[in-house]
Amino acid sequence: MVKINILFFIFIFVFQPNFSVAGEFEFNKLAMSFKNFVTCELTRTDATDHFKGKPFKITMIDLFDIQNESDLKIITGAIECFVVDKHLTLYTAVGLKSIMGKEQVVYYMIRDEDFSILSTQLIKFPYKERCKWSQYWIDVD
């Protein structure tokens, strides 16, 4: 019985880091895809709705939260921008679905005020693919 307990503890300590590394890898992949997607979306449209055509520079993109609601993954975050002579913070939510084994953006919204988002609210903003979610992520599978 003592040998079984020792083997159990060795197994836990040896394989525990692999579980956390896998979770960290997935989070980093989502964070990088989120940053690249938001950058592409804002620069592609020149953010005319948000900055009224004024020149801007993205200074920070921060991923806040990742939630799962049914088959929808909701990623929320903030974008800090410098517009002409002041800072502006925008808040965004991205809805992802796995389609044929690949995550794709199906909903996207961006606002000037902070918000918590539910899938029912996000579904009001369907996304017509302009910037691919994994555009800058190399999938080695």
Smallest CA-to-CA distance from 75 within 63, 85, 59 is with 63
pTM of the model: 0.74
Whether residue 137 is contained in a domain is answered as no
pLDDT given at position 43: 82
Sheet hosting strand 56-69, strand order edge to edge: 56-69, 72-83, 86-99, 102-111
> Which CATH number do you get for residue 71?
3.10.450
Q: Give the count of domains, the chain.
A: 1
Taking the C-alpha atoms of residue 89 and residue 112, their distance in angstroms, rounded to an integer, is 7
Structural domain contains residue 30: yes
From the list 81, 38, 92, the residue with the least C-alpha distance to 59 is 81
State which residues form the domain around 7. Answer: 2-122
In a domain, 39, yes or no: yes
Please check whether residue 81 lies inside any domain of the structure.
yes
How many residues in total does the chain contain? Answer: 141
> Is residue 133 assigned to a domain?
no
Distance (Å, whole) CA 4 – CA 125: 55
Q: What is the pLDDT along the chain (141 residues), one digit of tens a residue?
A: 555 555 444 544 455 544 455 578 888 888 889 999 998 888 876 566 677 778 888 899 999 888 888 888 999 999 999 988 888 899 999 999 988 888 899 999 988 887 777 778 888 899 988 888 876 555 544
Which amino acid is it at 55? P
**Predicted pLDDT at 19:** 46
The answer to the question of residue 48 being in a domain is yes
Q: Is 135 among the domain residues?
A: no
Helix and strand numbers (H, E) in the chain are 3, 4
- C-alpha distances out from residue 129 to 7, 24, 95, 133, Å: 51, 27, 12, 9
**Domain assignment present for 139:** no
Q: Report the pLDDT value the prediction gives residue 75, as an integer from 0 to 100.
A: 92
